[in-house]
Structure 1
Amino acid sequence: MTRVLVVDDSALMRRVVGGALRAAGFEVETAKDGVEALERVHVFAPDVVTLDVQMPRMDGLACLDRIMVERPCPVVMLSSTTTEGAETTLEALELGAVDFLPKPDGAVSLSIDTFEPLLIEVVSAAATARVRRAHRLLERVRKRGPAGPKANVSQRPKGPRASPTSADGLVLIGISTGGPPALDVVLSALPDAFPWSILIAQHMPATFTGSLAARLNTLCALSVVEVTKPTRIEGGSVYIARGDADMIVSRRAEGLVVLPAPSSAAHRWHPSVDRLVSSAMDHVEASALIGVLMTGMGNDGAAAMTALRTAGGRTIAESEDTAVVWGMPGELVRRDGADHVDPVGLIGQRLLQLVGV
């Protein structure tokens, strides 16, 4: 039986989260703050921890940092949907949390029907996640904020290059669980002279994708923006799909554009990787497309990227060695849809090789 430690300073949330998990067959214990959580992780030895961000005595980030040093295990953050909450959650993911869930808004009873199934799905996936021991990451992560040593990349001139031509194309990245730190690794490996455009579908709510784009924009040499309206695709720029919707490629008089679209009921996960790739194939030659499928549960993107490879495009799957959850890239490999299977630290180099930079 999977053991879950539920950590939250709210008695109501401990009851809601713990009750839902017990009803689904998990063994559950609770803690009311980070100090108590650290005691329980050594005694209870949980397979997964759900961790509130804001708590007295020891907040969620400090507790997470200690867990990843003392007894690493999959941690799912429970976060508010405010801008501050989103930024803290992204910091937690960089510290080693495998996933997060927005806390129910308003009256918990009104949103519990949608929260509970997602909670069970995320915790079940987290139980299979790959977690490695960290080494006092908290201060290093915080130093990478706007005032940190890596922030100087955002001070370089970041402007659009030429629109994709027969020589330039699109890199299409699909990613989910464990995505933000993996994207940091890949994008940071690309120089500001990278000529192709990069379109990213990261499974994430809309309240978090803007903060993700802003964070990545400070951590890599390329310009990174969230797509909230029809936007002309410019070479050498990165486009993040807005959460709770899909992102599609289209062609207009001014050239290729990327635009948000209402989430399609035909696709389970959003922003949909399959829909993004299929729309790109409708408007760009397959030979000018590179599909990259990275860490995440489920199979979103595997079908479309397999079709892309069959049509003459090139595809990369993140290897099992580095994926937090080898669901999406693993399915691409099982379908024989991957030209290359690379660890996350080498995907950037692979892109440079395929693009010819």
Structure 2
Amino acid sequence: MRKIRAMVVDDSAFMRRMIGDILEKAGIEVIAAARDGVEALEKLNGFTPDVILLDVEMPRMNGLIFLDEAMRRGPYRVVMLSALTGEGSQYTIEALERGALDFIQKPSGSISLDIEKKAEEIVSKVRAVVEVPLEKLRDFKALRFPSREAGKVEKGMAGGEAIAEKLVFIASSTGGPRALKALFAGLRNLKKSCAVIVQHMPAGFTTRFAKHLDDIAPFSVIEASGGELTWINRAFLAPEGKHLLMKEDKSLVLNDDPPVAGLKPCADLTLLSAVKAFGKNILAVVLTGMGKDALEGCRAVKNSGGKVVAESQDSALIFGMPGAVVRENLADWVLPLEAIPRVILEWDEA
């Protein structure tokens, strides 16, 4: 079997060496390294990497500009490497929307002497994204998001101050940011439902991502802070580093219990608590992502009489999460991403 071939793009020679060592130890061949986007583009003329590990903040050409040009030429499978800075997190969110498949947060800044802490995550994400067919990336890159700001009714107040009868729950991971924006762009105002989203993200990103979703959704989307009531026609994004749970009075609460299977927030925990609050009135939507988070939650939803939608393998960049639901025969619908908004709206209005 041919080795996975990677390119490492980072302005720090130390980081390039350390990341390269991590990959080589795992049997992943580093065929090229570059100190910025300009050099990386030059090297793409002579190398064809399976995966590009890309820094965000670099001189001459940052990761975002490089990504645009590389995706125009390619596309390529790209995993972002981001430090926890305001500008870095903003660029990373934009990179995910422009075609990057996933991202890894550097543990201690742009030059992370302790990058070995991320070795397992780096290797697992490289191995995961290499399974994404380039044809899917071409389709994914072509997604367009209409501006919805003018169509909002007082930031999603169309439902008034009424507690939702129904819950639309959405879980996603790798490939999720762009899929969620496409999903929300296809929705209208919800008449009976509230939406809750668990997207796997590390610290420093969910606040900005909630704002990105809010810019395109027909209703208000905010990062949950705990204590909110699940009003009709609102959406709440689980914050990074906390589990988002639901009380029986349909209010939201944050929980600081340990990660579940390495995940915090964990979609399973949110769904299991939601079943106690909403019973059969739940539509669980499982989108692209590695692993099987949301599987046990979907099982509980089905046992309560609720419904489940799984994104189909045709459109999911990573079929892990929706595939787990499909294999257990828990999905009422298995649909490409573009068909899911219609099901949500019909279920909401029923």
TM-score by length of 2: 0.91
Alpha-carbon RMSD across the aligned residues, in angstroms, is: 2.3
Aligned to 1:331: 324
In the TM superposition, residue 116 of structure 1 has moved relative to its aligned partner by: 1.4
Matched, 1:273 2:264: no
The 5 A counterparts of 1:3-22 are 3-22=5-24
Q: Is the 8 A contact 2:191 2:349 kept in 1?
A: no
Alpha-carbon distance between aligned partners in 2 of 1:75 and 1:208, rounded to the nearest angstrom = 18
CA offsets, 1:298-340, max 9 Å, x none?
0101122023123311000001111111100011001111100
- In structure 1, the residue corresponding to 2:289 is in which secondary structure? coil
Q: Is the 8 A contact 2:148 2:218 kept in 1?
A: no
The 5 A counterparts of 1:129-140 are 129-131=132-134, 132=136
Aligned to 1:88: 91
Corresponding residue pairs, total: 343
Alpha-carbon distance between aligned partners in 2 of 1:353 and 1:149, rounded to the nearest angstrom = 23
Aligned to 1:152: 150
Aligned to 1:310: 303
- In structure 1, the residue corresponding to 2:218 is in which secondary structure? coil
Alpha-carbon distance between aligned partners in 1 of 2:69 and 2:11, rounded to the nearest angstrom = 18
Alpha-carbon distance between aligned partners in 2 of 1:173 and 1:55, rounded to the nearest angstrom = 34
Identity rate, percent: 35
**Structure 1 82/258 Cα, relative in aligned 2: closer, same or farther at 3 Å?**
same
Q: Which moved more, 1:324-333 or 1:63-72?
A: 63-72
- One of 240, 244, 256 as aligned partner of 2:241: 244
Q: Is the 8 A contact 2:156 2:233 kept in 1?
A: no
TM-score by length of 1: 0.89
Aligned to 2:342: 349
In the TM superposition, residue 133 of structure 1 has moved relative to its aligned partner by: 5.6
In the TM superposition, residue 19 of structure 1 has moved relative to its aligned partner by: 1.1
In the TM superposition, residue 356 of structure 1 has moved relative to its aligned partner by: 2.1
Q: Which moved more, 1:305-314 or 1:329-338?
A: 305-314
- One of 193, 197, 205 as aligned partner of 1:196: 193
- One of 156, 180, 183 as aligned partner of 1:183: 180
Flag structure 1 segments of 5+ consecutive residues without an equivalent. none
In the TM superposition, residue 210 of structure 1 has moved relative to its aligned partner by: 0.4
Q: Is the 8 A contact 1:173 1:293 kept in 2?
A: yes
Aligned amino acid, residue 112 of structure 2: V
Q: Is the 8 A contact 1:69 1:134 kept in 2?
A: no
**Structure 1 163/149 Cα, relative in aligned 2: closer, same or farther at 3 Å?**
closer
Aligned amino acid, residue 345 of structure 1: E
Aligned to 2:59: 56
- One of 229, 239, 253 as aligned partner of 1:259: 253
In the TM superposition, residue 194 of structure 1 has moved relative to its aligned partner by: 3.9
CA offsets, 1:61-90, max 9 Å, x none?
111111112121210011121222222111
Aligned amino acid, residue 339 of structure 2: L
